[in-house]
Amino acid sequence: MMKKITAVLIGAGNRGTGYGEYALDNPNEIQFIAVAEPLTDRRDKFKNEHGILEEACFVGWKELLEQPKMADAVLICTQDQMHFEPTMKALELGYHVLLEKPMSIEPGECIKMGEAAEKNGRVFSICHVLRYTNFFFTLKKILEEGKIGRLVSVQHNENVAHWHQAHSFVRGNWRNSKESSPMILQKCCHDMDILRWLIDAECKSVSSFGSLTYFKSENAPVGAPKRCLDGCLVAKECPYYGPKTYLTSNIGWPSSVISTDTSLEARTQALKEGPYGRCVYHCDNDVVDHQVVNMEFENEVTVAFTMCAFTAECSRTMKFMGTKGEIRGSMERNEIEIIDFITGNKNVIKLSNSASGHGGGDYGIMQDFVKLVQSDGKVEGRTSAITSVQSHLLAFAAEKARVENRVINMRDFINELKK
C-alpha cells in the first residue's frame, strides 16, 4: 500500500472544496493539514470538515507559504490572476502542486511555471479534468484503435447554457477579462487541451471570431432596472431574472455561490446587495458570449470549435470525422455513437454517470495527482505541465487571433514569447 500524502489548500471556494471531498472519501490516501482562505466562513467550514488545527489556518497564501514546508503537496484554487506567485513560491519550497486552470492570464508566466516545475523536479498538474473522464478516455481509445480510420476533421461545441453564462460570465467572477481572463482561456482551455490530446499533434495555425453581442446595456428591455429585485417590469419574460436561478428549492450550485447561508432569506438578501442580483444588461462584463475558433494541426486535422452562451443545456457535443467512419458524442449524456462507413452499422456506447464533478473528472484528477505525489513524480500521469503550457498557449493564440482579426502561426507565436 502506498503511503498517505499530506496536502494544504489555498483557496477554499467551490473548486477547492470540491477537490477536498476526495480526501474525505479517501482518508487513507490524502489528508489536508492546512488551509488558506480570506473568507472566514469558508475557511472555518474547510477546517471543521478536515479536522485542521486552528494554527494551521491562514487568511492568505503568503502567510501559509511563509511557513516552512509542512506537507507533500499544495492545491492552489485561487482566482485566475492569483495563480502565478503562489505556484512559483510553492515549487521553490519543494511542494508538489495541483493548480486550478487557467495556469495564468499571461502566456509568459505559463512558460515560467512549467520551467520552474522541471527545474525543481516537482509534480505540477493542471486541472484539465476532461482527460480524466470516462467519456473522453473512451473517445481517445476509439480513435487510437482506428475505428473510424484516419481522423480528418473535428467539430467541437462548448454549449455554455444561457443561465451558466449569466451566472459565471456576466454577473460572476469571470465576467471581466481585466479582473479574470478571456473567455477562451477561462472556460475553454479545457477544450483546447482535450482537442490536442485526442488529435495527438501540435496545432499549426489558428483563427478566431467572436464578440460580446447580447449582454450589454443597449439590449436591456424597457422596464429593466439595475437590479432584478428593484421592481423589474419584465421579470416574467426574462430568462435571466435572478430569482429564477437563485431563489428556488435548489440550494446547491449555483445558489450556494451567492451566499454561504443558503436559507431563502439570506439568498434574497444576497440578490438585493450582491453582484448576482444585478440585471444581466447592467453589469461590468466584457467577455464574449459567443466565439468560434478554427485550427489546423500538424497532421492535417482541422477543427471547428464553437463556444456559445445561447444554448439550453450546459454540455459538450462533438463530431469526429474519419476516413472509415464517424463519431458523434455528448459528454453530459455520456453517449458515444460510432458509424461505420463500410457496413453502415451504428454502435451506441452509453457510459455510466459519475457523481463527481465534470463527469468524474474532478475525482479522476485527484486520484491521478495522489498517485503521482506518492511516487514523488516517478510515474507518468495522463498529462504534464509542459503539455498544459501548450494547451494554454493555444487559447492565448486564439484570443490574439480574435482581437487582431488574423491567422496566428503557432510556431511564430511561441517563438516570439520565448524571446
| 3-class SS letters over the chain | CCCCEEEEEECCCHHHHHHHHHHHHCCCCEEEEEEECCCHHHHHHHHHHHCCCHHHEECCHHHHHCCCCCCCEEEECCCHHHCHHHHHHHHHHCCEEEECCCCCCCHHHHHHHHHHHHHHCCCEEECCHHHHCHHHHHHHHHHHCCCCCCEEEEEEEEECCHHHHHHHHHHCCCCCCCCCCCHHHHCCHHHHHHHHHHHCCCEEEEEEEEECCCCCHHHCCCCCCCECCCCCCCHHHCCCCHHHHHCCCCCCCCHHHHCCCCCHHHHHHHHHHCHHHECCCCCCCCCCCEEEEEEEECCCCEEEEEEECCCCCCEEEEEEEECCEEEEEECCCCEEEEEECCCCCEEEEECCCCCCCHHHHHHHHHHHHHHHHHCCCCCCCCCCHHHHHHHHHHHHHHHHHHHHCCCEEHHHHHHHHCC
For helices 189-199 and 385-404, give the axis angle rounded to 10 degrees: 120
Q: Which of 126, 152, 173 is the last residue of a domain?
A: 126
Q: Which of 126, 160, 189 is the last residue of a domain?
A: 126
Whether residue 75 is found in the same domain as residue 184: no
Asked if the structure places residue 362 within a domain, the reply is no
The reported pLDDT for the residue numbered 168 is: 96
Give me the residue label for grid cell 503568503. Answer: 62
The reported pLDDT for the residue numbered 418 is: 80
Asked if the structure places residue 148 within a domain, the reply is yes
Instruction: Report d(CA 133, CA 130) in Å as an integer.
Output: 5
Whether residue 145 is found in the same domain as residue 235: no
**Which residues fall within 8 angstroms of residue 297, CB to CB, at 6 or more apart?**
199, 201, 202, 203, 204, 303
The reported pLDDT for the residue numbered 41 is: 92
The reported pLDDT for the residue numbered 69 is: 97
Whether residue 205 is found in the same domain as residue 61: no
The candidate with the shortest Cα–Cα distance to 353, out of 336, 335, 368, 367, is 335
* Contact status, residue 203 vs residue 402, Cβ threshold 8 Å: no
**Which residues fall within 8 angstroms of residue 155, CB to CB, at 6 or more apart?**
303, 304, 306, 318, 319, 321
Q: Which of 64, 92, 126 is the last residue of a domain?
A: 126
For 98, the domain range is 5-126
Asked if the structure places residue 67 within a domain, the reply is yes
Per-residue pLDDT of the chain (419 residues; tens, 9 = 90+): 578 999 999 999 888 999 999 999 999 999 999 999 999 999 999 999 999 999 999 999 999 999 999 999 999 999 888 999 999 999 999 999 999 989 998 999 999 998 998 898 899 999 888 888 999 999 999 999 999 999 999 999 999 999 999 999 999 999 999 888 899 998 998 899 999 999 999 999 999 999 999 999 999 999 899 999 999 999 999 999 999 999 999 988 899 899 989 999 999 999 999 999 999 999 999 999 999 999 999 999 999 999 999 999 999 999 999 999 999 999 999 999 999 999 999 999 999 876 566 667 888 899 999 999 999 888 777 767 778 888 899 999 999 999 999 999 999 999 998 87
Asked if the structure places residue 317 within a domain, the reply is yes
Assign residue 28 a region: left if phi > 0, alpha if psi is -120 to 50, beta otherwise? Answer: alpha
Instruction: Report d(CA 184, CA 400) in Å as an integer.
Output: 10
pTM of the model: 0.87
Is there a cis peptide before residue 27, judged by omega within 30 degrees of 0?
Answer: no
The reported pLDDT for the residue numbered 383 is: 67
The reported pLDDT for the residue numbered 109 is: 92
Asked if the structure places residue 373 within a domain, the reply is no
Asked if the structure places residue 357 within a domain, the reply is no
Is there a cis peptide before residue 243, judged by omega within 30 degrees of 0?
Answer: no
Whether residue 100 is found in the same domain as residue 188: no
Whether residue 160 is found in the same domain as residue 250: no
Whether residue 411 is found in the same domain as residue 294: yes
- Residue 211 sits in a domain whose CATH number is 3.30.360.10
Whether residue 236 is found in the same domain as residue 169: no
Asked if the structure places residue 12 within a domain, the reply is yes
Whether residue 164 is found in the same domain as residue 78: no
State how many domains the chain has. 3
The reported pLDDT for the residue numbered 387 is: 81
Residue 408's alpha-carbon distances to 64, 106, 267, 289, 395, in angstroms, are 41, 17, 45, 22, 11
Asked if the structure places residue 268 within a domain, the reply is yes
Whether residue 340 is found in the same domain as residue 227: no
- Residue 44 sits in a domain whose CATH number is 3.40.50.720
Whether residue 301 is found in the same domain as residue 411: yes
Whether residue 119 is found in the same domain as residue 249: no
**Which residues fall within 8 angstroms of residue 322, CB to CB, at 6 or more apart?**
148, 149, 150, 151, 152
Sign of CA dihedral 298, 388, 393, 284: positive
Q: C-alpha cell of 136?
A: 473522453
The reported pLDDT for the residue numbered 17 is: 92
Whether residue 319 is found in the same domain as residue 243: no
